[in-house]
Structure formats: C-alpha cells, structure tokens
C-alpha cells in the first residue's frame, strides 16, 4: 500500500551509522555449519582471532570480529563476541549489537537484555528506542508506549520519539493523540519526509483542511517531481469530505505523475461505483489490472462491477483470482462463496 511510506521506527542517523558499523544487515538464520573454531581461524576472522589470543581482555577485538561475523551471516558467533565485548566494557554499540540479533531471533529475549542494559546505561536513547521496537514486536503496545513516553521525557526535542509515539497511539486507535504526536514531530523536523507524509495522511483521514496546505507545500518542495503521494492525499481528503469531482481530479493527477500508483485507480473507481456509474468505474479497475496483473484489488473491484451488471460467472472468476493472489483478502473470499451457492 502506498500509505505505508516508510517502515515503523525508521533508523535515525545515529542508528544508521551504528547499524552500518555493526553490520546488522547480515543478521539471520543462515549460520554456516562449519565448527566455530575452524571458522574463526579462517579469513577474514583469523587476524582478529590471533589478536584476541594475544590480548583476551581487549573488548575492541571482540567487537570488530563480531561485526565481520554478522556481515557473514554467522549471527550465533557474532552474538557471542558482542556479549564478550559487553562483559568487558559497557559500550552502547555492543549492547545494540546484542539487542538487534535477539530482536531478529527472539524479541522477548531482546526485551530482557535491553532492560538489563538500560540499568547499566540509563541515559541511552538508542537502547530505549530498541526496547520500544522489541516490545512492539511482541504485541505489547502498552509497554512500548510507556517506553516511548520515557524516551520523550529524556529527549523531548528529538522528532523520532514523537513519531514512535504516534505509531503506537495509532495502534491503540487513538487517532487524535497520534495526530498530535505527528504534528509535534513535524514541528521539530519539517524537512523529514517520512514525518511529513505520515502527517498529511493523518490530516486527510481526520478531514482536516490543513492536509491540503501541507500537500501543496510538499508539491512545491518536490522540484524533481519524485513523489505522487501529495496528489493522492489531496484526493483522499476530498473523497473523505464528499467532494467527489475534486477527489477524482486529484486521483487523476496522481496517476499522471505515477502511472503505477495503483491505489489512485481503486479510489477513483470506488467513487464512480458509489455514484452508480458502473460502466465508467469498471474500465478504471481494468486499467489498474493492466498496469499490474497481479494486483488482487483490481480483480475484486472488476468483480464487483460485473456482479452489479448481472455477470455473475465472470464476477466469480475475478473474486477467485483476487483471493488466489491474496489469501488474507476476506472480502474476495466471501464474495466468491456467496456467488458459488
């Protein structure tokens, strides 16, 4: 979906730097089968292994070897080295390495470790953010929200903390609180596109006219014409406020800027359907289907048009195609079941 502009808890610059340093992109379950002793004696680990043998209390050697191991998808060995480095010296980046391997493997273990690490480094913004991520991964939204609030008490001028709180409040169905947090985040970091995009969507969903001015600001700033989202959000705002002609205009503008913006086709077609303009709506959904033949929503809405026109066999086939492409598409399955009886 286009609405999900960027992933939850996107890394700020400090975490991007640490992630690159620690080599977390190599985390996973692809640990090789070679015995640990043999692996550590091979390149590129051999030199660091020799240094560790000569200076076994030097935490930096363990850390650098952990980074190399992680980049080589040897996360079990990397974890052991991060833990050894952490036992020798309470450096934040060592704890971050441990926590992120646990977060990938076992979020509950990450939570246990991070709470302990925060007793050692209570001022660590990085570890508290990671704790919120781990708690959220476990579905413990209330605990993650409490952690986010502690984060904001310590660092109220950092936009990411407000963004985290906004995402968590959204999961709690607190739209007003989420919007307020997004507005605070945008106030602190108006140049951050992730925050700006999330705010404009939230304003449009709230039928708040400030969505339009924010969209216009982002359109003016987009001198490279890279983003169709502000045009789409203007369409959403007008759709939500019942101004259908304006909504269709802006969905058309979205498609003109990005022919692959599939949600714009769907939203435009739905307006036409609601206006009982079935013969105009169906070609819009069919165009989305031609742009991306594996798009389940297009098949579903083509089926809706066909069913409304009495073409039940054709509608059934399209409902089945939609469900076949997306097994979580319950509306398509229910529509197919209805027509199969």
Contact between 163 and 194 (Cβ < 8 Å): yes
pLDDT at 341: 81
Taking CB atoms within 8 Å and a gap of at least 24, the contacts of 232-235 are 232/2, 232/261, 232/263, 232/264, 232/267, 233/200, 233/201, 233/204, 234/204, 235/264, 235/267, 235/268
pLDDT tens for 30-72 read 444 445 678 999 999 999 999 999 999 999 999 999 999 999 9
Tell me what pLDDT residue 37 has. Answer: 78
Q: Name the nearest CA neighbour of 12 among 172, 196, 160.
A: 160
Q: Please give the pLDDT value at position 16.
A: 46
For the chain, give the number of residues. 341
Cα–Cα dist 279/305, whole Å: 8
Q: What is the DSSP letter of 279?
A: H
Predicted pLDDT of residue 255: 98
Q: Would you state the structure tokens that stand for residue 207, as one six-digit string?
A: 């039928």
Question: What confidence tens digit (pLDDT) does each residue in 279-301 have?
Answer: 999 999 999 999 999 999 999 99
Instruction: Tell me what pLDDT residue 6 has.
Output: 37
CA dist 153 and 275 (Å) reads 50
- Residue ranges for the chain with pLDDT beneath 70: 1-36
Q: Outline where 155-192 has alpha helix (H).
A: 159-171, 175-188
């Amino acid at each position: 979906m286009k609405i999900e502009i960027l992933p939850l808890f996107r890394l700020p610059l400090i975490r991007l730097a640490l992630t690159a340093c620690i080599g977390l992109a190599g985390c996973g379950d692809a640990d090789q089968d070679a015995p640990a002793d043999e692996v550590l004696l091979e390149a590129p680990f051999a030199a660091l292994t020799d240094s560790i043998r000569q200076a076994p209390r030097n935490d930096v050697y363990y850390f650098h070897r952990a980074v190399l191991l992680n980049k080589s998808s040897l996360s079990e060995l990397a974890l052991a080295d991060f833990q050894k480095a952490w036992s020798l010296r309470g450096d934040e980046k060592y704890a971050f390495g441990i926590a992120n391997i646990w977060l990938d493997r076992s979020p509950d273990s990450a939570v246990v470790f991070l709470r302990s690490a925060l007793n050692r480094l209570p001022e660590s913004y990085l570890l508290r953010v990671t704790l919120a991520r781990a708690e959220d991964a476990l579905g413990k939204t209330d605990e993650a929200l409490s952690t986010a609030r502690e984060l904001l008490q310590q660092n109220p001028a950092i936009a990411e903390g407000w963004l985290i709180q906004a995402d968590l409040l959204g999961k709690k169905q607190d739209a007003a609180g989420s919007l307020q947090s997004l507005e605070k985040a945008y106030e602190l970091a108006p140049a951050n596109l992730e925050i700006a995009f999330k705010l404009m969507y939230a304003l449009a969903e709230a039928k708040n006219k400030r969505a339009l001015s924010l969209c216009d600001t982002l359109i003016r700033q987009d001198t490279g014409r890279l983003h169709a989202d502000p045009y789409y959000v203007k369409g959403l705002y007008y759709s939500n406020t019942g101004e259908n002609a304006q909504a269709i205009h802006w969905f058309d503008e979205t498609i003109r800027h990005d022919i692959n913006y599939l949600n714009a086709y769907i939203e435009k077609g739905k307006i036409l359907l609601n206006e009982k303009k079935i013969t105009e709506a169906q070609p819009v959904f069919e165009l989305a289907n031609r742009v991306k033949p594996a798009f389940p929503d297009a098949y579903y809405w083509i089926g809706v048009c066909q069913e409304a026109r009495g073409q039940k066999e054709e509608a059934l086939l399209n409902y089945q195609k939609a469900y076949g492409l997306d097994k979580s598409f319950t509306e398509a399955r229910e529509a197919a079941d209805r027509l199969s009886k």
